[in-house]
Structure 1
Amino acid sequence: MPDRDTAAAVACNVRAARTRRGLSLDRLCERAGISKGALVSVENGAGNPSLSTLVRLADALALSVSDLLDPPGTEGIRVVRADSTEPLWTGPAGGEVRLLLTTPGPAPVELWRWRMLPGELHRSAPHLPGAHETVTVLFGELALTVGDSEQRVPAGATALFHSDTAHAYACGGESACEFLMTVHLPGPHDRR
């Protein structure tokens, strides 16, 4: 996340959400499972938080990742160009993931675009209780692991799974894999 404007938006949004919820730095660190140094760096706009850190902070603050990334005051119709979002993860072979947008409301849905190259793997910590994801493979093959179970998802197929357990995505073939992922975050009454 090298963009200064994005880092400034994350800093402002995390600090504002923490303050609204009456959380100290220590309490938010405990809830998110991150170090105090990492949180201070994020809130000062000086850090380069990983995708995992952003997800942990969003979950701990009961927000979407987009809520952390969007500049304050984003309203109305929002059109997101493919080249207008910064990659939030870059794989060792050049794959990347971009968060395109998040729907508003008490049970938001995040839309992500992933491109993974052969040999790339991304592990994800469990999300909030009650969260689930869908992945639709546009081309290539995705190796999806949820808990101890792996499933191959070919081009043109969609998979649905509960993402409140550890899960991982990997390019499952000899060519690139591209997929769209939605993360369905639980509303206040949907949490198990």
Structure 2
Amino acid sequence: MSDFDQLTQSLARNLKRWRGDRGFTLDALAARAGVSRGMIIQIEQARTNPSVGITVKLADALGVSITTLLDYEQGPQVRLVPPDQAVRMWGTDAGSRTTLLVGNETRGPLEMWSWRLMPGEGSASDAHPPGTVELIHVTAGELTLVADGVAHAVPAGTSATFEANVPHAYRNKGPEPVEMTMAVSIPPVG
């Protein structure tokens, strides 16, 4: 079974379980997430591998991290995630990519990501639930962070934080790859 097949199966199993745990009907989750009922059915039946954007919307609507949606395991307080178990969520032929390094559910979902954006590429995100915070540290290149329509230059060695309850995007307008680490803190569903 390929990595994408395993990802599709985990997402199907976990989405169905978390939707049931929250007591959401298909229609209720569709309305909360802004995702069609048909798409949720396809995901729960492992007939599609949704985009990162749809996966984020579903995780936000359920109040869980993407880590939890992709593979939730109860275990010891310390959980090691070897490099080969980090989940590549998005990539382009030019070499841009995002990798979910690790996540946790304590006091609301918390995720840590590794990003690489090749010159001329970018990734946009819809607004997350109120109270969601993103922290970024750029280690190479210069990131253009766009939050609520305002662009901010974030050069290598610089960190940034913002409330991610507005549309936002990450872009590489420079000549060299942008490398960054991002942490996302999502408030628990209350």
The bucket for the TM-score relative to the shorter chain is: over 0.9
Report the Cα distance in structure 2 between the residues aligned to 1:30 and 1:14, rounded to whole angstroms: 15
Structure 2 SS opposite 1:56: helix
1:6 to 2:7 alignment: yes
AA at the equivalent of 2:107: P
> Deviation of residue 92 (structure 1)?
5.0
Matched, 1:73 2:73: yes
The AA in structure 2 aligned to 1:73 is E
Q: Output aligned runs, 1:76-91, within 5 Å.
A: 76=76, 77-91=78-92
- Structure 1 length-normalised TM: 0.91
Contact 2:112 2:181 in 1 (8 A): yes
Structure 1: distance between partners of 2:79 and 2:121:
31
The Cα RMSD (Å) is 1.7
- After TM superposition, give the deviation of residue 74 of structure 1 in Å: 4.3
Structure 1 SS opposite 2:88: coil
- Which position in structure 2 is the counterpart of 1:173? 174
Runs (5+) with no aligned partner, structure 2: none
Q: CA deviation at 1:108?
A: 2.5
Q: Is the 8 A contact 1:118 1:172 kept in 2?
A: yes
Aligned length: 188
- Cα distance in 2 for partners of 1:56, 1:91 equals 21
After the TM superposition, which of the residue ranges 123-132 and 76-85 deviates more from structure 2?
76-85
Amino acid paired to 2:48: G
Q: Distance in 2 between matches of 1:61 and 1:108?
A: 11
2:51 alignment counterpart:
50
- Aligned amino acid, residue 109 of structure 1: L
Provide Cα deviations, 1:76-118, integer angstroms capped at 9, x if missing partner: 2322233333321113522000111112312231101100000
One-letter code aligned to 1:17: W
2:30 match: secondary structure: helix
Q: Give the unaligned 5+ runs of structure 1.
A: none
CA contact under 8 A between 1:28 and 1:60: conserved in structure 2?
yes
Percent identity, please: 36
1:123 aligns to what SS in structure 2?
strand
Cα 1:12–1:182 change in 2 (3 A) is same
SS at match of 2:87: coil
- Conserved 8 A contact 2:139-2:180: yes
Q: Is the 8 A contact 1:91 1:116 kept in 2?
A: no
Residues of 2 paired with 1:18 and 1:44: CA distance? 14
* AA in 2 matched with 1:85: A
Instruction: Output aligned runs, 1:95-134, within 5 Å.
Output: 95-134=96-135
1:38 and 2:39 correspond? yes
Counterpart of 1:18 in structure 2: which amino acid? R
